[in-house]
Amino acid sequence: MKPIPITVFTVVEGTSVNGPTGFLGSGKTTTILSLLPQLPRDYKVVLLKNEFGDVEVDSQLAKQSSLAAVSEILNGCMCCILVGQMKTALLEIQRTYNPDRIIIETSGSAFPATLAFQIRELEKETNGAFKLDAIATVIDAENFTGYEDTSTTAKMQAAYTDILLINKWELVSERQLDIVMDHLFTLNESTPKIKCNGRAGVDPSLIFGLDSKLFLTSDGDSALNIGGEHQEEVETFTITRGTSPSMGHIHNESCGHTHADEHLKQPDVTSVSVLTRAQLEKSLASLNKEVVYRVKGFVKLTEEGGVNSIMILNWAFGRYELTSIDAEVGDKGLIGANLRLTIMGERGEVRSKGRAFSTLLGAVLS
């Protein structure tokens, strides 16, 4: 049997004009989904997604695509905290689906060097059942401001990639794009840099079949010694509204603290009315972009005529997108509530902002 090629999508971690880029909407999921319609109908692709937080937003969106399956690793980064789970998940995908290709979408905070090394180890352990085809790094041109020359982490992340995909470049001026490109050439001079074509993404032939040469030799020590505390700067919480009585309290294991007593002080939101779009927009407008990095999740909205619809919300950099989703899929994401969001932001600061945001929504912060 031919080895299953693996393509890893990641971003370069660091600080942009509004916060850590690795935890914001660089466009990895959009780029991945744009590839699928360009592939042969009988070409089977499985997505392994490392979601940050406990709301499987992009995974549910991906399930409406032509992907053969979506597998998820939640609440942690699979290059450090959840190291080992990636190998287990890949083996399960092989046994269950035996796809033509596996795409791994990282949480955004992952070190591609560590993932590449793990995949190379799996190649050896399975006698070549898998093959690292490429690591593709997505750059958000609108919010990427580059890094100091002394940024070792950024340099190592940018070095361990086979292609740099420039996303959202059409949203910036020529001068801004030149600045972004200058930074990228400083970080990685030799790797190809390709501009994505908006939501049309990029031609699969430019990404698939690269036959990566990363970690073909036994140079994994540097990858494994980069350190695994890179996500400690970000804190995540769950916001729920209209929780059914049977649900009880949703506890987000990634928030890292005990809040049973605090929950007793939260308002009772059982059987509250469904939000309107105007109410949601007003609440989103109150968010502090310096502290809150990302809000994503499921929300049921009352539209004109009193019709309720379930949407996926993606908010970053003060901009948001609402995407309609199949009612059955949406109900699974809401788990009995009419709003369920993950809020991500600066550790030690985001909780107070999240509490104010949840109050505006008439929701519970957990």
Q: Is residue 183 part of a domain?
A: yes
Q: Tokens for 204, please give them.
A: 């699969």
Pair (206, 234) in one structural domain = no
Residue finishing a domain among 214, 235, 252: 214
Pair (15, 78) in one structural domain = yes
Pair (198, 308) in one structural domain = no
> Where does the pLDDT of residue 252 fall: very low under 50, low under 70, confident under 90, or very high at 90 and above?
very low
Question: Which tens digits make up the pLDDT trace of 147-163?
Answer: 444 455 556 666 778 99
Tell me which residue range forms the domain holding 288. Answer: 222-243+272-365
Q: Is residue 267 part of a domain?
A: no
Pair (32, 75) in one structural domain = yes
Number of domains in the chain: 2
Q: Is residue 251 part of a domain?
A: no
Query: Mean pLDDT throughout 221-244?
Result: 61
Query: Mean pLDDT throughout 176-200?
Result: 86
Q: Is residue 259 part of a domain?
A: no
Q: Is residue 263 part of a domain?
A: no
Query: Mean pLDDT throughout 314-331?
Result: 78
The whole-angstrom separation of Cα 229 and Cα 80 is 8
- Residue 283: the pLDDT is 93
Residue 198 has pLDDT above 70, yes or no: yes
pTM of the model: 0.69
Query: Minimum mean pLDDT among 27-36, 56-65, 218-227: which range?
Result: 218-227
- Residue 271: the pLDDT is 45
The whole-angstrom separation of Cα 295 and Cα 273 is 21
Question: Which tens digits make up the pLDDT trace of 278-314?
Answer: 999 999 999 987 788 778 888 999 877 778 888 888 8
Pair (238, 168) in one structural domain = no
> Where does the pLDDT of residue 220 fall: very low under 50, low under 70, confident under 90, or very high at 90 and above?
very low
Pair (311, 191) in one structural domain = no
Q: Is residue 327 part of a domain?
A: yes
Would you say 212 and 135 are in contact if contact means Cβ atoms under 8 Å apart?
yes
Pair (207, 231) in one structural domain = no
> Where does the pLDDT of residue 257 fall: very low under 50, low under 70, confident under 90, or very high at 90 and above?
very low
Query: Minimum mean pLDDT among 43-47, 69-73, 360-364: which range?
Result: 69-73
Would you say 191 and 41 are in contact if contact means Cβ atoms under 8 Å apart?
no
Pair (135, 106) in one structural domain = yes
CATH number at residue 237: 3.30.1220.10
Q: Quote the mean pLDDT of the chain.
A: 75
Query: Mean pLDDT throughout 35-56?
Result: 82
- Residue 264: the pLDDT is 34
The whole-angstrom separation of Cα 295 and Cα 281 is 13
CATH number at residue 50: 3.40.50.300
Residue 78 has pLDDT above 60, yes or no: no
Which range scores top for mean pLDDT: 47-51, 127-131, 163-167? Answer: 127-131
Give one word for 323, left, alpha or beta, with left for phi > 0 and alpha for psi -120 to 50: beta
The whole-angstrom separation of Cα 20 and Cα 118 is 25
Question: Which tens digits make up the pLDDT trace of 100-131?
Answer: 999 998 865 567 777 888 899 899 999 999 99
Q: Residue 255 contacts by C-beta under 8 Å, 6 or more apart in sequence?
A: 235, 236, 237, 238, 366
Query: Mean pLDDT throughout 333-359?
Result: 85
Q: Residue 8 contacts by C-beta under 8 Å, 6 or more apart in sequence?
A: 103, 104, 106, 112, 115, 116, 119, 132, 134, 135, 136
Q: Is residue 26 part of a domain?
A: yes
- Residue 193: the pLDDT is 92
Pair (69, 105) in one structural domain = yes
Pair (59, 194) in one structural domain = yes
Q: Is residue 354 part of a domain?
A: yes
- Residue 56: the pLDDT is 62
Give residue 113's identity as a one-letter amino acid code: A
Pair (151, 232) in one structural domain = no
User: What would the 3-class secondary structure string for the chain be?
Assistant: CCCEEEEEEECCCCECCCCEHHHCCCCHHHHHHHHHHHCCCCCCEEEEEEECCCCCHHHHHHCCCCCCEEEEEECCCCCCCCCCHHHHHHHHHHHHHCCCEEEEECCCCCCHHHHHHHHHHHHHHCCCCEEEEEEEEEEECCCCCCCCCCCHHHHHHHHCCCEEEEECHHHCCHHHHHHHHHHHHHHCCCCCEEECCHHHCCCHHHCCCCCCCCCCCCCCHHHHCCCCCCCCCEEEEEEEECCCCCCCCCCCHHHCCCCHHHHHHCCCCCCCCCEEHHHHHHHHHCCCCCCEEEEEEEEEEECHHHCEEEEEEEEECCEEEEEECCHHHHHHHHCCCCEEEEEEEECCCHHHHHHHHHHHHCCEEC
Pair (179, 302) in one structural domain = no
The whole-angstrom separation of Cα 234 and Cα 314 is 17
